[in-house]
Amino acid sequence: MKQQYLLIADVEDVGRSGEVIAVQPGFARNYLIPQQKAVPASQHTLRMQARLKEERAKQAEVDRKGAEELAAKLEGSTLTVKVKVDPEGNMYGSVGFADIVKLFADKGFTLERRSIGLNKPIKEIGIHPMVLKFKEGVTCNYTLHIEGEKTTEPQS
């Protein structure tokens, strides 16, 4: 049986601060309440709802402006990474979240892992159009260019 809780912090894929949500008691007991992200909905806590929604609206505007500024700087950029390939041109390993975050860090931009629009690591060399997903639904497009760097096999 689901119970009603008032979110006091944003929880990804659950809701935003100030929303009343219905969740399973175990999720609330094991995650939301210990992490101080929600409180049981009662008449007292529901009075906090208006204040929380107002604070969330202000924070959303700040987040949106910051995300739009960052997206404007990164829109259309191209990142290049060199990877080792075998003689047939197949990659050793893959390019994943950490590699892309490091490439942006090398350019002076600090991004969170969840901002990288990558479903699974890339295992092919070439040019890959990519998407960054920021807070408040702001997105930007960039290009990831993966170049092969042939390894020399020891000859016998």
Q: 15, 38, 66: which is the final residue of a domain?
A: 66
Q: pTM of whole model > 0.75? A: no
Q: What is the DSSP string of 9-22?
A: S-BTTTB-TT-EEE
Same structural domain, 10 and 58: yes
For residue 3, the model assigns a pLDDT of 86
Q: What is the tally of structural domains in the chain?
A: 2
Is 156 part of any domain?
A: no
Q: Is the CB of residue 94 less than 8 Å from the CB of residue 79?
A: no
Same structural domain, 43 and 106: no
For residue 43, the model assigns a pLDDT of 81
Computed on alpha carbons and rounded to an integer, the radius of gyration of the chain in Å comes to 22
For residue 24, the model assigns a pLDDT of 93
Identity at 103, one-letter amino acid code: L
Q: Could you read off the pLDDT of 47-99 as tens digits, one per residue?
A: 778 788 888 889 889 989 988 998 898 888 898 999 988 888 788 888 988 89
Same structural domain, 46 and 15: yes
- Provide the 8-state DSSP code for 134: -
For residue 89, the model assigns a pLDDT of 79
For residue 148, the model assigns a pLDDT of 86
Pairing of strands 3-7, 20-23: antiparallel
Region of 108 on the Ramachandran plot (φ > 0 left; ψ -120 to 50 alpha; else beta): left
Q: Is the CB of residue 56 less than 8 Å from the CB of residue 18?
A: yes
Same structural domain, 62 and 98: no
- 150 versus 144: which is more confidently predicted? 144
Domain harbouring 89, CATH code: 3.10.430.100
Is 28 part of any domain?
A: yes
Same structural domain, 126 and 59: no
Listed residue (130, 129, 123) closest to 148, CA to CA: 123
Same structural domain, 141 and 83: yes
Q: Could you read off the pLDDT of 15-44 as tens digits, one per residue?
A: 888 888 999 999 999 999 999 999 988 887
Residue range(s) defining the domain that contains residue 14: 3-66
Domain harbouring 54, CATH code: 3.40.5.10
End-to-end CA distance of the chain: 69
